Amino acid sequence: MALINEKAKEVNAKIVYYGPALSGKTTNIQFIYRKLKPEHKGKLMTLSTQTERTLFFDFLPIELGEIKGLRIRFQLYTVPGQIFYSATRRLVLKNVDGVVFVADSAEDKLQENIDSLKDLHKNLGFHKLSLDKIPHVFQYNKRDLDNALPVDVLNNHLNQNRVPYFEAIATKGVGVLETLTSITKLVVQKLRTAKDLEERVRQMRREEAAAQRNNTTSAAKAQASSNTRAVIEDTGPPSILPDGSLSLPIIFSLSDTGKKYQLEITLNIKELVDISGKAE
Ligand SMILES: Nc1nc2c(ncn2[C@@H]2O[C@H](COP(=O)(O)OP(=O)(O)OP(=O)(O)O)[C@@H](O)[C@H]2O)c(=O)[nH]1
Ligand SMILES: [Mg+2]
């Protein structure tokens, strides 16, 4: 799910390039990185083996467009296609807003494409997401190969919902930006719907409130470490916890700001001495 930063006036949307091993996902991102103007792109991060196979993921933040006064920052990710990196692929799909499925057009790669698409469905399911509800497009890459399958065949096997598809030769940049433009448009269209944006704004406010609570605690800590005095204002009613310890809420204020904080202390009781009958 896209995240909105109201203060910075930006929306963050995540687009994942998925597909079988060596289909050209990293090549797509590298081309986009080379083509975008510096003001539209961040740093390209790649984590690969010595033979340039993606090990974890590639990541490229880009800025394109605006909705409702908010700048949109797209975060492009690729997954590692090799079968044994399934856990990483699942992780990368968390909070995904759009998917580009990069298929290898080579005839002998058809089954790998089909398996990778199944793997995508399964991994989305893990996050309780469904491809039907997520903007997605297909890219039939490596159209320069002699044994490239006809696009109709690829569509019949992979593109059940007949979403937009693009023929590409990623190594030459053919079809790369068209694919990117299409998926970003679809994601923006979805984000534009008021319900989606409202939910995102609400989520952001919840996160901000949580962050503020954290800040308050760390502010209290920071203050306490200086020469500020803490004055105990009140104590709440003590309660005995199931393990026999005593819990005591203490309300204190800081001498310089006057701000009040509540602190819960738990005391382990070794021995209870009955003093009720003792003379003064
Ligand atoms: N002939 C041809 N080769 C391509 C094309 N696109 C990418 N390649 C080559 O395919 C190989 C794999 O490309 P990558 O972009 O690393 O593939 P990937 O999908 O990121 O692979 P993993 O990270 O292992 O999943 C490289 O040698 C690329 O140069 C294309 O359109 N045509
Ligand atoms: Mg790669």
Tokens found for residue 245 = 């310890």
In a domain, 75, yes or no: yes
For residue 249, is pLDDT > 90?
no
Q: Is 25 in the pocket of ligand 1 (CB under 6 A)?
A: yes
**183-197, 212-226, 227-241: which has the minimum mean pLDDT?**
212-226
Identify whether residues 45 and 130 lie together within a single domain. yes
**Torsion on CA atoms 109, 115, 120, 122, rounded to nearest 10:** 180
In a domain, 209, yes or no: no
In a domain, 103, yes or no: yes
- Domain edge (last residue) among 173, 192, 211: 192
Which atom of ligand 1 is nearest the CA belonging to 79? 25
Which atom of ligand 1 is nearest the CA belonging to 169? 31
Q: Is 139 in the pocket of ligand 1 (CB under 6 A)?
A: no
Identify whether residues 146 and 262 lie together within a single domain. no
Identify whether residues 172 and 259 lie together within a single domain. no
Q: Is 20 in the pocket of ligand 1 (CB under 6 A)?
A: no
The total number of structural domains that make up the chain: 2
- What is the model's pLDDT at position 201? 66
How many percent of the chain have pLDDT more than 70? 80
In a domain, 222, yes or no: no
Q: The dihedral of CA 86, 89, 91, 94: what is its sign?
A: negative
SS (H, E, C) the chain: CCEEECCCCEEEEEEEEECCCCCCHHHHHHHHHHHCCHHHECCCEEEECCCCCEEEEEEEEEEEEEECCEEEEEEEEECCCCHHHHHHHHHHCCCCCEEEEEEECEHHHHHHHHHHHHHHHHHHHHCCCCHHHCCEEEEEECCCCCCECCHHHHHHHHCCCCCCEEECEHHHCECHHHHHHHHHHHHHHHHHCHHHHHHHHHHHHHHHHHHHHHHHHHHHHHHHHCCCCEEEEEECCCEECCCCCEEEEEEEEECCCCCEEEEEEEECCCCCCCCCCCCC
CA distance 143 to 28: 14
What's the CATH number where 66 sits?
3.40.50.300
In a domain, 214, yes or no: no
Which residue minimizes the CA distance to atom 21 of ligand 1?
Answer: 22
Distance 172 CA to ligand 2 centre (A): 16
Q: What is the mean pLDDT of residues 166-170?
A: 98
Which residue minimizes the CA distance to atom 29 of ligand 1?
Answer: 171
Identify whether residues 113 and 172 lie together within a single domain. yes
Find the domain containing 239 and state its range: 228-275
In a domain, 250, yes or no: yes
Q: Which amino acid belongs to residue 107?
A: E
In a domain, 65, yes or no: yes
Phi/psi of residue 20, nearest 5 degrees: -70, 170
Which atom of ligand 1 is nearest the CA belonging to 80? 25
* Helices 151-158, 110-126: inter-axial angle, 10-degree rounding: 30
Distance 170 CA to ligand 1 centre (A): 8
Q: Is 135 in the pocket of ligand 1 (CB under 6 A)?
A: no
CA distance 201 to 189: 17
The model's pLDDT over 42-101, given as tens digits with 9 standing for 90+, comes to 888 877 766 677 777 778 888 877 766 678 889 999 998 888 788 889 989 998 999 999
Q: Is 82 in the pocket of ligand 1 (CB under 6 A)?
A: yes
How many percent of the chain have pLDDT more than 90? 43
Q: Is 22 in the pocket of ligand 1 (CB under 6 A)?
A: yes
In a domain, 221, yes or no: no
Identify whether residues 185 and 253 lie together within a single domain. no
Which residue minimizes the CA distance to atom 25 of ligand 1?
Answer: 81
Q: Is 175 in the pocket of ligand 1 (CB under 6 A)?
A: no
Identify whether residues 177 and 255 lie together within a single domain. no
The model's pLDDT over 116-142, given as tens digits with 9 standing for 90+, comes to 999 999 999 999 999 999 999 999 999
For residue 225, is pLDDT > 60?
no
Identify whether residues 151 and 68 lie together within a single domain. yes
Distance 227 CA to ligand 2 centre (A): 54
Choose the most confident range, by mean pLDDT, from 164-178, 189-203, 237-251: 164-178
Q: Is 23 in the pocket of ligand 1 (CB under 6 A)?
A: yes
CB 56 within 8 A of CB 80: yes
Identify whether residues 143 and 252 lie together within a single domain. no
Distance 186 CA to ligand 2 centre (A): 24
**5-14, 31-40, 153-162, 170-179: which has the minimum mean pLDDT?**
5-14
Identify whether residues 118 and 233 lie together within a single domain. no
Q: The dihedral of CA 25, 31, 36, 39: what is its sign?
A: positive
Ligand 1: which of 18, 108, 171 to mutate, judged by most atoms within 8 Å of the beta carbon? Answer: 171
Identify whether residues 165 and 74 lie together within a single domain. yes
Distance 142 CA to ligand 1 centre (A): 8
Closest CA to 207 of 69, 2, 68, 67: 2
